[in-house]
Amino acid sequence: MDKIIKRIAIMTGGGDCPGLNAVIRAAVRTAIMKYGLEVVGVKEGYKGLYKGDFVKLDLNTISGILPRGGTILYSSNKDNLFLYPFVEDGKTVLKDVSDVGLNNLKNAGIDALIIIGGDGTLTSGRDYARKGVNIVGVPKTIDNDLASTDTTFGFDTAVAVATEALDRLHTTAESHHRIMCLEVMGRYAGWIALHAGVAGGADAILIPEIPYDINKVAEALLTRKDNGKEFGIVVVAEGAKSLTGEMVVNQVVENSPDPIRLGGVANVVANQLEKLVGLESRATILGHLQRGGSPSAFDRILSTRYGVRAVELVMEGKFGNMVTLKGNKMSFDTLENVIGQEKCVDPDGELVQTAKKIGVTFGD
């Protein structure tokens, strides 16, 4: 490493996620207590980097934040400095203002930047690494769809929230002879739906990786009905798609790095199943409940491990990398390898096959 590291910055970007504060806490404590570094936080993700909105982070700043949800640095998922929106003559134009953020880092005397985020946030991190910034990434998403790492922090908490919701819906479904459809997040990956569905005893799990035939889902529920089980539990990933390949889009947000907002597929499925099965059906969209609140014990530990390892990578000069979990060991992979390599559920994987063996239908 050519340059001695004295001051580092930490930034959180993208959607909020249980465990963000635990990563910040671990990174700050490691940087100060082990390496004697100065630490600053970048507020509101890349927006703060553009504005030069930095705040000092010390042991007092991060005291007590381990169990807190959200992020004390705040976040933004709409500010790509390589394609930053400006309104000119009544029209929105996109400009590359990444050099503004680069200069702000230099002017603040920051030697390395730890970026905690998902694919979109880390894509800009990779682009800054290409511009010579000393970047280390930490994988954050409840969707668990980032490549190169076995598990992202926030995923375990999201699954726990969804599982509790299924437990509660189960009693209502049984009491009223209803089919209850729970829609969970995950974007184009079915990890939350799969894990929560197995943990919550779902009768059907619909995920993006396995296009479903609604008639086959109905057949499975009719079989239950014939066997005296006049209710059903269906978990639907927000990105689930039928055999036609179409996903349900809630809205399109213009000038957003990710303009497609999925949502509403559980309503479609519930309406179809009510007609096909003959049981009253209801849809519950869990939404942002999965993102908020206190992280699970697993996520607190994983976040702490990620935060410590991120600072170690900085001090080892291993820039342009993202911290990863492989098996039970902390490792790392290049951002170049991570970006754009979405990790999806394997339809032939062990957990899918386990679910099928205990009678769960995926509509295939």
Q: Which residues have CB under 8 Å from 272's CB, separation 6+?
A: 214, 218
- Relative to beta strand 249-252, strand 260-262 is antiparallel
Query: Residue 234 in contact with residue 182, Cβ under 8 Å?
Result: yes
DSSP three-state, residue 85: strand
Query: Residue 206 in contact with residue 362, Cβ under 8 Å?
Result: yes
Show the tokens assigned to 83: 């394609």
Closest CA to 187 of 320, 15, 7, 11: 15
Question: Identity (one letter) of the amino acid at 21?
Answer: N
Helix (H) or strand (E) holding 280, with range, is none
Dihedral over Cα of 60, 330, 208, 340: its sign: positive
Query: Hunting for tokens 């957990």 — which residue is that?
Result: 351
Closest CA to 320 of 99, 190, 128, 147: 128
Torsion of CA 222, 228, 231, 235, to 10 degrees: -60
Query: Residue 157 in contact with residue 257, Cβ under 8 Å?
Result: no
What are the backbone dihedrals phi and psi of residue 41, each rounded to the nearest 5 degrees, phi first? Answer: -110, 145
Q: Which residues have CB under 8 Å from 344's CB, separation 6+?
A: 145, 188, 189, 190, 208, 209
Across the beta sheet with 204-206, the strand order is 204-206, 232-237, 179-184, 281-285
- What is the rounded CA–CA span in Å between residue 249 and residue 94? 25
Is 143 considered catalytic here?
yes
Residue of 143, 156, 299, 333 with catalytic role: 143
Which positions are catalytic? 143
